[in-house]
Amino acid sequence: MNTQTLLPALLTLHLTGLILMAGTTVIDYVTFSTFWKQFQVNQTKSLVLLEATSKFARINGIGAALLILTGIGMMALTHGIFGEQLWFRIKFALVIIIILNALLVSRRQSLKLRKHITDTGSTALEEINKAKANLYRFYFSQFLLLFLVIFLSVFKFN
């Protein structure tokens, strides 16, 4: 396969990774919001929805891995030419923040929420509300960062 075929093939897989990552982030957010509505009505039933969100994390990770691997592949094929351009440098920094946001904020707060949601201790409610606010902040920032990365990748400002 020559470069002229391989580059668009990698870009297709890159965009597939984007669909998987952004798609599961949206679905995760919708399920998370539905969980809180259900939580006020029926606590036991609502836990099924919280459980479902853990399945999205795996697909989200596959999408992120696909984006990174195909991104590195495209960089190698183009001999790192994009690496010298401003849009790519900003994009790369934002991608690192997206990964840290998912690994440090989302993962940690989800574990905290799961730990305290069935807890009956006196500080449980406070911890639950803290994790809930942090997770809503995570979704908002992740959507904004993804939008900025797509915007930069399409317009390629230099």
Give me the residues that bind ligand HEM (CB under 6 A), please. Answer: 7, 11, 14, 18, 67-68, 71-72, 74-75, 82, 95, 98, 146, 149-150, 153-154
Give dist(CA 99, CA 116) in Å, integer.
25
Task: Return the closest-CA partner of residue 61 out of 93, 107, 97.
Answer: 107
Kindly tell me which of 105 and 128 has the beta carbon lying closer to ligand HEM: 105
Identify whether the C-beta of residue 153 lies closer than 8 Å to the C-beta of residue 91: yes
Kindly tell me which of 95 and 128 has the beta carbon lying closer to ligand HEM: 95
Instruction: Report, in Å, the least distance between residue 140 CB and ligand HEM.
Output: 16
Q: Give Cα separations from 44 to 41, 49, 73, 124 (angstroms).
A: 9, 10, 46, 16
Instruction: Report, in Å, the least distance between residue 9 CB and ligand HEM.
Output: 11
Kindly tell me which of 38 and 101 has the beta carbon lying closer to ligand HEM: 101
